Each structure stands twice: as structure tokens, then as C-alpha cells.
């Protein structure tokens, strides 16, 4: 999730607005996407018909579910997300989306959608207060509609920033990841004939991608020549170091972002925190943050009190959760989301990581060749990358490096 919030200044002309590129979590909730759309509605133009259709059906579905839930108990409410349904966006299978892809997904969903659901989400008549399907079947199809809605909203909002997102292609680390994971290095690349034939196109694509992180032109030709001349090592050595540095920026606490007000011992990291004015938020912080940040006998403890320059919890209605910079103090959460919800509990854990200086480890950019946005998480098992992620050894080691004196 965001560790800083880049707000759209509606008073600026359109070209100036493009300079303020939003930085969005890859696993936002439907409510967060609705808020995102609302915040940008004054400056958004009508998008492609495929995108608008997916948004219209998604909005209609959301209103229908809300109406159905009004007549149900909290235990019986229709819910489209939970801890168990979080899947993440693995780097090997990134999200790629544009109007054509969204339209094709809509067509597939509609071809499989039960008639009673189709009749509701594609019309503007009064919404029913019930569903005539079993909950499991309804939720299965509703999730697909909802995910397509989320991609459509994301595309519509980010399209105006595509030129800024295009620059992010220089930080596309998938080539580096593939080579590293599959142990392609100076030794294994010394002879093209040693590379299994089935992997050669993948190695070629990975080297080209790694080259593109440093050089925007001629990478295809350079790699083709390297294959023809059996000189892959020179390409690898020319670009590997920079690619590795970019990869590391997704995981390493920058020196300027490490806190000066914490105390590290062999078993504990003690962090000051301004005591919340509302009593229930203190156990909310303790139960989530202290439960997450622990590793093999080591744990984090919040020291509540009054601190002029310490972390503070802020709630604002409709806010996209964020921290005001790596190592920042202001954790802003959405006041409209109950703290009992899984998404809120995961988010406060993730956002506190930013308070400690940990960066997000996911990436999104606009691919001008595909004419589509691409995003992925570098490690879906990592708390700072994905909602499926948890505290792990690499986070402990990074905190130890930053705070152990």
C-alpha cells in the first residue's frame, strides 16, 4: 500500500496534474476503488466503451450486494474478499490490462453468468433485495465481475498518467528475477549451447528486459548479436549490476528513512507511539502490529505515550491508507472501514512497516509496446509486497541492519 499519498490537485491544469502520479496498492478493496473513482470524477474523461461497461456492471453489483446485506445478519452477509481468498499478483503472472483485455474478460464472464445475475447487473431497474442462487455460486461469479470492475477503474484513473507510468518500465525487474531464480550467470551463460533449447527464448527475453533497464534503444539487436556471437556474458555483465541495485530498492530501508527514536535489543525493538484518543484503537494497534512483527524470539513492542515527533494514528473518511513517507509518523486510515475487517487489520500491519522505513515491494508501469498497464508483486509471501504476505526473515534482517547498534 502507499507509503505516501500523492493527491490530485483539481485546480491545476491537466498537464500539471500528470506530474502528480498516484501510487496505488495492487490489492485495493472495492470500496477503495469506488473512493478513487469519486476523488477523480471531476477530471476523468469518459473512457473506452469496454471500460465503461465493466465499471457500470461493477457499480451495479456492489449496490445489489449492499441491498441484499441490509436484510442479512453480519454472519450471513455476502462478502467477496477474505484472508482466504487473497491470491496476490505473482511476478511470474503479472496483471496486464487495457480496454481490449477488459472487454474480452467481460465477454467471457457474461457468457458464463447465470441469467438471473445478468438480468440485474446489465439493467437499471430497481434492485432486488435477495438473490435466487445459492451464496457460493453467486459469490463465485460476483468475484469475477468485481475483479474486472477493479481493473476497469484502475485503467480509467491511471490512463491520464500513462506517460509517467511509462517511465516505470525502466524498473521492470522481471528479467533480473528470471535470470537469478533460474541460476543464469557468468558460468551458465558462457556458452549458448549449454542453455536448454526450451529456455533460450526466455533467456533472450530476460536479457533484453534487463538491458532495457539501462538502455532504451537497441537492446533487441544487442541481445540477438550476443546470441549469434555466443557472447551472452558481456551482455549479462553490462547490465546485471544496475538491475540488482534496482531490485534492492524494493526491499532495503534507505539510510535517511531509518528512525532515530527506537531501541533495539537482542529480543525487542521498542517503538514510541502516540496513545490514540479513542481507547479501542490501542488494542487494535497492539493486536495487529505486535502480532506481526516478531521473529524467532524477537518481537516489536509499542511504547505508548505522548511524543512530539512520534507515530500517530489518523482516521479520515474515504482516505486511501498511507504513511507520509518512509520513516514517517502519520498513519492515515479510512474511517469508513471497520477495524474488525481483515483488510483494515492487514493494512495497519503493512503501513507500520513504512513507519519503520520498509518500502513497498510491488511495481506498476505502462508498457507502450503492449499498450497496456502491467503490475506485479516481487514476493507474494512478503508483508510489504502483498496482502497474502507475512513477516519473514528478510524483514527481520533488514530491521536488524537498520536499527541494531
- Tens of pLDDT, residue by residue over 332-364, are 999 988 898 888 999 999 999 999 999 999 999
Q: Which residue has the cell 534492492?
A: 248
**Residue 382 DSSP one-character state:** B
Domain boundary among 104, 131, 160: 160
Reply yes or no on whether the pLDDT at 220 is more than 90: yes
High-pLDDT (> 90) share of the chain, % = 80
| Over residues 246-254, mean pLDDT | 98
Domain boundary among 217, 232, 249: 249
| Structural domain that includes position 129 | 26-160
| Over residues 24-50, mean pLDDT | 85
- Cα–Cα distances in Å, from 101 out to 96, 151, 209? 8, 10, 23
pLDDT class of 391 with cuts at 50, 70, 90: very high
Reply yes or no on whether the pLDDT at 69 is more than 90: yes
Within-domain flag for 126? yes
Within-domain flag for 40? yes
Please indicate, yes or no, whether residues 197 and 153 belong to a single structural domain of this protein. no
pLDDT at 309: 92
High-pLDDT (> 70) share of the chain, % = 94
Q: Give the closest residue to 272 by CA, choosing from 247, 303, 226.
A: 303
β-pairing, 95-97 vs 263-264, is unpaired
Within-domain flag for 359? no
Q: Which of these ranges, 30-44, 302-316, 368-382, 388-402, has the smallest mean pLDDT?
A: 30-44
Number of domains in the chain: 2
Within-domain flag for 373? no
pLDDT at 342: 83
pLDDT at 4: 43
Please indicate, yes or no, whether residues 118 and 189 belong to a single structural domain of this protein. no
Within-domain flag for 226? yes
pLDDT at 370: 95
pLDDT at 7: 36
pLDDT class of 108 with cuts at 50, 70, 90: very high
Please indicate, yes or no, whether residues 134 and 179 belong to a single structural domain of this protein. no
Please indicate, yes or no, whether residues 34 and 107 belong to a single structural domain of this protein. yes
pLDDT at 149: 97
pLDDT at 18: 42
Please indicate, yes or no, whether residues 41 and 156 belong to a single structural domain of this protein. yes
User: Which of the pair, 320 or 204, is modelled with greater confidence?
Assistant: 204
Within-domain flag for 36? yes
Within-domain flag for 186? yes
Reply yes or no on whether the pLDDT at 215 is more than 80: no
Within-domain flag for 295? no
Q: Give the closest residue to 363 by CA, choosing from 395, 392, 347, 385.
A: 385
* pLDDT tens, position by position, 187-211: 999 999 999 999 999 999 999 999 9
Please indicate, yes or no, whether residues 80 and 197 belong to a single structural domain of this protein. no
Reply yes or no on whether the pLDDT at 29 is more than 90: no
Please indicate, yes or no, whether residues 148 and 215 belong to a single structural domain of this protein. no
Reply yes or no on whether the pLDDT at 322 is more than 50: yes
Domain boundary among 249, 268, 288: 249
Mean pLDDT, the chain, integer: 91
Please indicate, yes or no, whether residues 136 and 180 belong to a single structural domain of this protein. no
Reply yes or no on whether the pLDDT at 56 is more than 60: yes
User: Which of the pair, 81 or 146, is modelled with greater confidence?
Assistant: 146
Please indicate, yes or no, whether residues 156 and 122 belong to a single structural domain of this protein. yes
Please indicate, yes or no, whether residues 145 and 50 belong to a single structural domain of this protein. yes
pLDDT class of 10 with cuts at 50, 70, 90: very low
pLDDT at 236: 97
pLDDT at 9: 34
C-alpha 32/C-alpha 25 separation (Å) is 10
Please indicate, yes or no, whether residues 154 and 180 belong to a single structural domain of this protein. no
Please indicate, yes or no, whether residues 230 and 201 belong to a single structural domain of this protein. yes
3-state secondary structure 245-299: HHHHHCCCCCHHHCCCCCEECCCEEEEEEECCCCCCHHHHHHHHHHHHCEECCEE
pLDDT at 17: 41
- Residue 127: Cβ within 10 Å count: 16
Q: What is the pTM of this model?
A: 0.89
Amino acid at each position: 500500500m502507499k507509503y505516501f499519498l500523492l493527491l490530485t490537485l483539481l485546480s491545476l491544469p491537466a498537464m500539471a496534474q500528470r506530474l502528480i502520479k498516484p501510487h496505488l496498492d495492487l490489492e485495493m478493496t472495492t470500496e477503495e476503488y469506488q473512493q478513487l473513482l469519486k476523488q477523480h470524477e471531476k477530471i476523468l474523461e469518459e473512457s473506452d466503451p469496454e471500460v465503461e461497461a465493466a465499471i457500470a456492471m461493477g457499480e451495479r453489483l456492489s449496490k445489489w450486494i449492499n441491498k441484499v446485506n441490509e436484510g442479512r445478519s453480519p454472519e450471513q452477509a455476502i462478502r467477496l474478499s477474505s484472508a482466504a481468498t487473497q491470491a496476490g499478483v505473482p511476478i511470474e503472472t503479472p496483471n496486464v490490462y487495457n480496454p481490449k483485455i477488459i472487454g474480452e474478460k467481460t465477454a467471457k464472464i457474461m457468457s458464463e453468468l447465470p441469467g438471473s445475475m445478468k438480468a440485474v447487473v446489465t439493467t437499471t431497474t430497481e434492485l432486488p433485495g435477495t438473490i435466487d442462487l445459492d451464496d457460493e455460486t453467486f459469490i463465485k461469479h460476483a468475484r469475477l465481475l468485481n475483479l474486472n470492475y477493479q481493473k476497469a477503474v484502475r485503467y480509467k484513473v491511471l490512463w491520464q498518467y500513462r506517460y509517467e507510468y511509462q517511465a516505470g518500465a525502466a524498473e521492470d525487474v522481471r528479467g533480473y528475477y528470471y535470470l537469478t531464480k533460474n541460476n543464469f550467470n557468468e558460468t551458465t551463460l558462457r556458452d549458448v549451447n549449454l542453455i536448454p533449447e526450451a529456455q533460450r527464448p526466455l533467456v533472450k527475453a530476460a536479457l533484453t528486459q534487463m538491458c532495457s533497464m539501462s538502455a532504451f534503444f537497441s537492446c533487441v539487436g544487442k541481445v540477438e548479436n550476443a546470441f549469434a556471437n555466443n557472447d551472452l556474458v558481456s551482455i549479462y555483465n553490462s547490465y546485471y549490476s544496475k538491475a540488482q541495485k534496482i531490485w534492492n530498492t524494493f526491499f532495503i530501508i534507505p539510510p535517511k528513512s531509518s528512525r532515530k527514536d527506537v531501541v533495539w535489543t537482542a529480543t525487542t525493538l521498542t517503538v514510541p507511539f502516540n496513545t490514540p484518543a479513542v481507547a479501542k484503537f490501542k488494542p487494535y494497534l497492539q493486536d495487529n502490529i505486535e502480532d506481526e512483527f516478531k521473529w524467532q524470539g524477537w518481537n516489536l513492542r509499542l511504547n505508548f505515550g505522548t511524543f512530539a515527533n512520534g507515530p500517530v494514528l489518523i482516521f479520515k473518511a474515504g482516505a486511501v491508507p498511507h504513511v507520509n513517507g518512509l520513516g514517517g509518523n502519520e498513519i492515515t486510515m479510512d474511517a469508513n472501514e471497520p477495524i474488525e475487517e481483515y483488510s483494515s487489520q492487514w493494512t495497519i500491519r503493512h503501513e507500520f512497516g513504512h513507519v519503520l522505513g520498509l518500502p513497498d515491494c510491488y511495481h506498476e508501469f505502462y508498457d507502450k509496446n503492449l499498450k497496456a498497464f502491467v503490475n506485479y508483486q516481487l514476493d507474494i509471501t512478503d508483508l510489504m509486497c502483498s496482502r497474502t504476505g507475512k513477516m519473514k526473515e528478510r524483514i527481520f534482517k533488514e530491521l536488524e541492519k537498520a536499527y541494531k547498534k
